[in-house]
Amino acid sequence: MIGDLLIQGAQMALVLLLAPLFTGVVRKMKARLQRRRGAPVLQPYRDLLRLLGKEVVLADNASWLFRTAPYLIFALTWVAAALVPTFATGLLFSWSGDLIAIIALLGAARFLLALAGMDVGTSFGGIGASREMMIASLAEPAMLMIVISLALLAGSTQLSTIAAFMLSSAVGLRVSLALALIAFIIVALAENARIPVDNPATHLELTMVHEAMVLEYSGRHLAMIELAAALKLLLTVSAIACIFFPFGLAAGPDGLVRYPIGLASYAAKLGVAAVLLGTFETSIAKMRVFRVPGFLGAALMLSLLATLLLYVSRGL
């Protein structure tokens, strides 16, 4: 019990501490690939600290919703991140919410962010909120279908159980898993406002989605939102790692010796993910907004296909 509590606490602190670093590494990677030197990998931490120390400049007609939303968004994302196994599966509170709950928690954060974007009543806030909800209306069902196909395989929507199942030898190579992985990656790019769906590095561009919603935020509020975005990226990568690449995940009672292995493999997985994400983002152009539905529609169809295959035959 105490051990589990420690792991849970360690994991919550770990994701919080690692999230800006991961963002920093991805940025560095992209900069190097573009033959720039780039900011140091620790730059996101400095940005956060700087923002935290600044005063908040609040638009004249911002309401209480605008002021509380950043903290709620951060809290919702953090709770969701606490439910995703990173280096060990034995999370104390993992049973309190399953993958569906994690998606819904992220959905709640997005709901609040979109509302906060509309609160001041500027045109950019509206455009961001409107596009974000359009993207979500395709990404969320795709994500849920991926969860359903995984759950049909593992017999549970609980992430720890799914990871344990994936670690066991009962998995084998499956078509449905491959489809789910591709769909998951597409959805992950959209959910985290990455290229080709959105560009995290731009401001003042008509194509922006996430950045348009947070345009009116400043100071500690902006810090919270930036941290939440970094957490969400790390959470998604951790989820992909623990579902599709669960190697090295510390599980079971004899975990104590395995924790260092789990941590090391988690760090390695994050490194690989950062390199892949940076390379992918550099090598592809951003899509027009109305190309995005086709891209996400493919994810939805792939995940539906995976689920249908599993309904029809247990071997696929």
Residues 189-228, interacting with another protein (CB under 8 A): 203-204, 215-216, 219-220, 224
- If the CB atoms of residues 237 and 304 are measured against another protein, the closer one turns out to be 304
Contacts 24+ apart (CB under 8 A), 164-168: 164/89, 164/251, 166/243, 166/244, 166/246, 167/246, 167/247, 167/249, 167/251
Give 204's contacts (C-beta < 8 A, 6+ positions apart). none
- If the CB atoms of residues 27 and 110 are measured against another protein, the closer one turns out to be 110
Question: 68: which 2 tokens?
Answer: 């509380």
Question: 194: which 2 tokens?
Answer: 């990455």
Q: Among residues 4, 45, 130, 298, which is the contact residue for another protein, using CB under 8 A? A: 130
Which range in 147-155, 189-197, 238-246, 249-257 contacts another protein by CB under 8 A? 147-155
Question: 104: which 2 tokens?
Answer: 């819904």
**Residue 96 engages another protein in binding (rule: CB under 8 A):** yes
**Residue 115 engages another protein in binding (rule: CB under 8 A):** yes
Q: Among residues 1, 37, 55, 285, which is the contact residue for another protein, using CB under 8 A? A: 55
- If the CB atoms of residues 86 and 307 are measured against another protein, the closer one turns out to be 307
Q: Among residues 90, 125, 262, 278, which is the contact residue for another protein, using CB under 8 A? A: 125
Dihedral sign from CA coordinates of 45, 48, 52, 54: positive
Q: Among residues 89, 161, 176, 236, which is the contact residue for another protein, using CB under 8 A? A: 161
**Residue 72 engages another protein in binding (rule: CB under 8 A):** yes
Distance between CA 210 and CA 95 in Å, rounded? 31
For residue 108, the minimal CB distance to another protein (Å) is 4
Q: Which of residues 285-314 bind another protein (CB under 8 A)?
A: 289-290, 293, 300, 304, 307-308, 310-312
Question: 312: which 2 tokens?
Answer: 């029809």
**Residue 127 engages another protein in binding (rule: CB under 8 A):** yes
**Residue 57 engages another protein in binding (rule: CB under 8 A):** yes
Amino acid, single-letter form, for residue 298 = A
Identify the burial level of 182 via C-beta atoms within 10 angstroms of its C-beta, where 0-12 means exposed, 13-18 middle and 19 or more buried.
middle
For residue 257, the minimal CB distance to another protein (Å) is 26
**Residue 114 engages another protein in binding (rule: CB under 8 A):** yes
**Residue 133 engages another protein in binding (rule: CB under 8 A):** yes
User: Shortest CA distance to 53 belongs to which of 222, 214, 219?
Assistant: 219
**Residue 155 engages another protein in binding (rule: CB under 8 A):** yes
**Residue 175 engages another protein in binding (rule: CB under 8 A):** no
**Residue 156 engages another protein in binding (rule: CB under 8 A):** yes
Q: How many residues does the chain have?
A: 316
Identify the burial level of 30 via C-beta atoms within 10 angstroms of its C-beta, where 0-12 means exposed, 13-18 middle and 19 or more buried.
buried
Distance between CA 77 and CA 111 in Å, rounded? 12
**Residue 231 engages another protein in binding (rule: CB under 8 A):** no
Report which DSSP code applies to 155. Answer: S
**Residue 144 engages another protein in binding (rule: CB under 8 A):** yes
**Residue 235 engages another protein in binding (rule: CB under 8 A):** no
Which range in 118-126, 174-182, 193-201, 270-278 contacts another protein by CB under 8 A? 118-126
